[in-house]
Structure 1
Amino acid sequence: MADGAGLHGTAAKPTRAWILHPDIRNERSRRLPEHGLAEAVSLAGALPSLDLIGAEVVRLPRLHPGTLFGSGKLEELKSRFRQEEIGLVLVDGPVSPVQQRNLEKEWGVKLLDRTSLILEIFADRARTREGVLQVELAALSYQRTRLVRAWTHLERQRGGFGFVGGPGETQKENDRRAIDEQVIRLKRQLEKVVRTRELHRSARRKVPFPIVALVGYTNAGKSTLFNRATGADVLAKDMLFATLDPTMRGVTLPSGRKVILSDTVGFISDLPTQLVAAFRATLEEVLEADLILHVRDIAHPESAEQAADVTDILHSLGVPGATPIFEIWNKLDLVEPGLREGLQAQAAAREGVFAVSALTGEGLDGLLAAISMAFDEARSARQLDLPFSDGRRRAWLHGEGVVQAETQTETGWRIDVLWTARQEAGWRAL
């Protein structure tokens, strides 16, 4: 790769890459290392500029602080990379700045850790203004903690951050100052975009249509389900992080009720902390949802572990406990026929669980009918007296669209509401 070329540069041929998944003894993990390696391979496959030559699990009795790997393994890998003419090594895990510098010097390659790779993918996928700004901010936050080599992102080409390559070392103070100036500029731009999105959300709250949010592990089939339900044409590929920016469409359910369906960014284990913070505004669509559809790839060998990761992230986002969640067991078409019937029976026996194939449409009618029924639950009328000091709870009632009539009294507001038991519980919890 020519000096200064990034993952998304204009090189004539893809960069030859190799993936290493460190498996550290006595380090507890939800996943088998082989499945972790498979996910890393899928991540690398999301970048067309890479030519993946090989991938392996490297079992380590312990981490070496300076080089990550022991001297014997270092020499073995160096020989292999030289023989295979490898230009880029992807380490599926955290790599410290010192380790990165030492490994690149020892092996004569460029090196990315898991965070850098995911940032590159996000940069390649982001399409909306907010998505682009959030990814740039995340990359700046990450790079500021490292500053091992030159800061090349400030003049990067669109679609990548150039974590690979650069013109050479520069003074850390200049790099840090440049990064801080960029961060301030990006935050100002992002504030404007977020304010615009909030205006859009406020406008949607006045529309009496419930919001149904699709969430799930990346590549679980959310976008395929979204397209099947809405007739939209959202990018839906068998690829990690095919969707980054939230997309919303109106859907008319079998009962005639209209809802707004929202497709969101896929979750992933060990998502870089910088990205969790940067994409919080994007994921606020989930916090606004009246119903969450947790889409699972039921054919994946680690479907349960992926579901646990999604649940953890939903909790960390602060999704209200009163928000109902349906679990969608997707990709039935990839399940062996003998197992498929058992999964369908299990789903049918559990409330709020649906076995479907978004690709073929199997099970979709039952799911859409259940969504419709969820919004047709019994509602009760109530008259509330709120003091003027309780403007927050009054605003919540209007935001939920449950206010039927309102008059002003000497001390506050008298409000007639028509709400569900879930909405009443949510209001009381404020």
Structure 2
Amino acid sequence: MFHRTIRALRHLLLGVPAGIGALVTVVAGTTGCLVLAITHLGVPAFLATTATVRRLASLERRRAALVLPVPVPDPYGPIEAGTAAGRARQLAAHPATWRDAAWLACLFPLALVCAVIAVVVLALDLAAFTSPAWAWALPSARRSDPGFATLTTPARQALTALAALILLPPVTWLVRALSTGQARLAAALLAPGRTQRLTERTDRLALTRSRVIDAQAAELRRIERDLHDGAQARIVALGMTLALADRRLKALGPAADTARADLAAARAEVNTALDELRHLVRGIHPPILTDRGLDGALTALFADHPLPVTADIQLPRRLAPALDAAAYFLIAEALTNTAKHAQATSATVKVRTHPDGTVTVTVTDDGHGGADPDGTGISGLRRRIEALDGTLTLTSPPGGPTTVHAEFPCAL
């Protein structure tokens, strides 16, 4: 408790000179900015004033940290503008600039009042507690004053010291309360506001989610590459070995027909496993999507589709890997459903990158319609698009046509 009281008293006493410097800075800076506002020196004066205000506010955050359990966070972010006028506009639009100035303007009277109250009550209590040691030095004429009436006899001096000892905990609590209250008020003004905290948290969550999505896409590409270069290559080698064994058995004549039949069955199973593995690889992440991008992967997808597909793709540049994969699998799933369930004769795919930074994907077929917007396939696609801050809508009236439309930002 003693150390906390000392820290609180130091915090209050430091506030007085800090308040004087803060008040001078705010008054001089405001006056200078107003006077120079009509000249070309207005912007440099504003930048110099705000820089000084920010430094003083940072010192105030450090002073408040003397008594607060946690430090006061800095509300400032990087200044993105390159020109002096742009920096001035960005600083003027930042709420922390004006909160800092408001705190520095009211710091001196607040710090002075708190410091005077703390010093007076603490000094009076300590003086009363030590009165038996110095009361003898009072002139006889002053002992009759009302303020020293309790010090006229040794007994009264002892009672005064005892009362001061009893009042010492409330007095030290008052000193700490004044310091804590001042520090909390400083934290309320100098810390980031609620809107700024929510904005920063949203930015952090968006950055974290983007990193998770990129890491997931990279992991899928790694799995695809390992399957393609590892298991798939070994199965191909196994098929070649079986073919070589079949050729050698063929030279033995009819006696090896049974073994050749078993080898043929084994080769058929190997080919089936290889086809399934290739299908699995394409389902994880098609290699062509990494090599040639979305445009090239869709061209290959349309070529293998049983229905004629009209493509209208306008991509001035490659998208992020996560967006490439999301758009590809959305189109692939929509076309698969068209071929299986819609009884359609054709389909149309449109992919657009818009000036506002969004990508739209639209898949339309001429089938009978009636698709369930809450079906398992559509729900999975919707979750995948929503993970990228996108939206997916399905329009499928009875009789058709069915349209799947997705929109998501391309800046990830």
TM bucket normalised to smaller: under 0.3
Highest CA radius of gyration, 1 or 2? 2
TM-score, normalised relative to structure 1: 0.19
- Larger helix proportion, structure 1 or 2? 2
- Larger strand proportion, structure 1 or 2? 1
